[in-house]
Amino acid sequence: MRRRGIVIALSAALLAGIGVVGYTTVLPAWQCRRGSELVEADRLGLDLRQSQGLNTTGAVTDVVAALEDNGPFGGLSSGTVVAPWNAASVIAVDDGVLLASGSGSTGNSFAGAVLSLDPASGSVRWARGYDGYAPGGGQVGEDIVTLVLPEDRTAAVSALDARTGRWSACTWVGTNTEHGFAPTLATARIPETSEILLAQDVDDDPDLSLTRMTPGTGDVAWTVPMTGLPSADDLTVLGGAAVLSRFNERDIDYTVGLNLANQGTDTRTVAAFSTADGSPLWRYPAEEDPSSPVISTVLGASDTGRGTLVLTTMTTPDLDSVTADTVRWDLVGVDPRTGEPRWTIEIPYGARASLTGDTLLYSSGPGDLHGLDVTTGAELWTLAHEADEWFQTNRAVTLGTQILVPTNAEDLWLVDAATGTGTRTEMPDGVYSFTITDTSIVVGVETYTDGDALLLFDRADPVA
């Protein structure tokens, strides 16, 4: 079974704690069972309906019919309705397994779950229920790695065997608590390895620490302090650099002035550390002028060519009064090894940007979309239309040479990545995510009557 390694991004925006005293303890697999259980799918309280034809009626069927008639979607190959499971999301996909996680269902003792689904039929291979929260995750080697937040117990980075759902190992982070909160935590996979980096709160130290570990065995290579970095929402690995940002890209939207100005004097720089030994490499900006503070965050990373880290920066003379007239809003392409900027593009204040494949997208207003070359910052194309709707660049995904870009009016644009030529398709209500594989488009759907669904459609242009 061919494996697809993906970066894990467990945001501290979701996991923010309150005064955590932390440590890292590696546990044998048998001790990881606390707070979760391998169960039959019906014990999760899910209303599971799956088949190649998705034999069900109601809102999900209407969504299927609408998607099959439009855009890049071929016929439905399989689907699973997981009502009343909320926010089902794909965390790993390969030739023989589809894994999804979500928040809890009603009428059972589990508050979260991870499911392994057969893409050909939508049937459940195994299911693991949690009495706490198990957000997101990704595949590292032969394991699915996720963060587990058991009720009233220690948070853990856990590794599950992707074939069986059984524990491989786990690493506890933080101390036992009666309050159910978690430490600041961000993780990312080190490419071409079965290891991850973990940024976390440790003991009474005001700064974070960085740990390199193998989640499948629990082995810790090293842990080092990150001086001057008290918190981080995002960890990105590129070119031998582990780059930490105080703000996650979710903070970078049209409310950015309010979101960031309220952060006070907290760290506003992006800091990079060596993936080899945790030693500091660089900061951006290298020296900040307190009279004109710069708030920086990592937007994304591309390993094309020498690799480029894309930052969003906001420069303002006064964090207490952030307006379109006082802010300079930039996209910056940075060398991940040195932190030196390769290019800088000023964009309108509050523009919505994302890195999708090797194309940098930003939308500066309704009906307006720009595509930039990530290696040079050069504008490749502009797409404009008359409708009064925003392109939701944060939901865009690549589909071969095309980019799928939803709008806030439930339309979907299929845009040529090289030319910006686009075609528009009406989308049914409730579609909230797309995951692209070699042969399928996995669509996440939320309905109020049928619950959530994960639907696998054949690609109109399968990869040869």
- The string of pLDDT tens digits covering residues 304-355 is 888 999 998 888 777 666 677 778 889 999 999 999 999 999 998 878 899 9
CA 84 to CA 81: how far, in whole Å? 9
| Residue 150 preceded by cis peptide, ω within 30 | no
Pick the residue with more confidence: 102 or 190? 190
Exposure string for 328-344, b = 16+ CB within 10 A, e = fewer: ebbbbbbbbbebebbbe
pLDDT reported for residue 22: 37
- On the question of pLDDT at 409 being above 60, the answer is yes
- pLDDT value at position 152? 59
Burial grade of 188 (CB within 10 A; 0-12, 13-18, 19 or more): buried
Whole-angstrom distance, CA of residue 105 vs CA of residue 85: 5
Specify the pLDDT at position 420: 94
**Cα-Cα-Cα-Cα dihedral of 135, 182, 4, 94, to 10°?**
-30
Q: What is the pLDDT of residue 362?
A: 93
Q: Which pLDDT does position 264 carry in this prediction?
A: 46
461 or 199, higher pLDDT: 199
33: pLDDT confidence band, cut at 50, 70 and 90? low
* DSSP conformational letter for 393: G
Checking if the pLDDT of 42 tops 90, the result is no
Determine which helix (DSSP H) or strand (DSSP E) holds 286, and give its type and residue range.
Answer: none
Measuring CA to CA, how many Å separate 58 from each of 54, 63, 274, 451, 454? 11, 9, 52, 10, 15
pTM: 0.82
pLDDT of residue 182: 47
**Which of 87-91, 154-158, 212-216, 288-292 bottoms out in mean pLDDT, i.e. has the lowest?**
288-292
The pLDDT value recorded for residue 14 is: 26
% of the chain exceeding 70 in pLDDT: 70
Cα–Cα separations (whole angstroms), residue 176 to 11, 20, 114, 305 = 21, 10, 24, 45
155 vs 224: CA distance, rounded Å:
20
Q: Is the bond preceding residue 84 a cis peptide, omega within 30 degrees? A: yes
Q: How far apart are CA 22 and CA 28, in angstroms?
A: 19
When pLDDT is cut at 50, 70 and 90, the band that residue 115 belongs to is confident
In the predicted model, is pLDDT for residue 257 greater than 60?
Answer: no
Among 265-269, 378-382, 383-387, 428-432, which stretch is predicted with the lowest mean pLDDT?
265-269
Residues 15, 271, 254, 383: what is their CA dihedral angle, to the nearest 10 degrees?
Answer: -120
Highest mean pLDDT among 46-50, 120-124, 373-377: 373-377
pLDDT band at 236 (very low <50, low <70, confident <90, very high): very high
User: What is the structure's pLDDT at 370?
Assistant: 96
What percent of the chain is predicted at pLDDT more than 90? 21
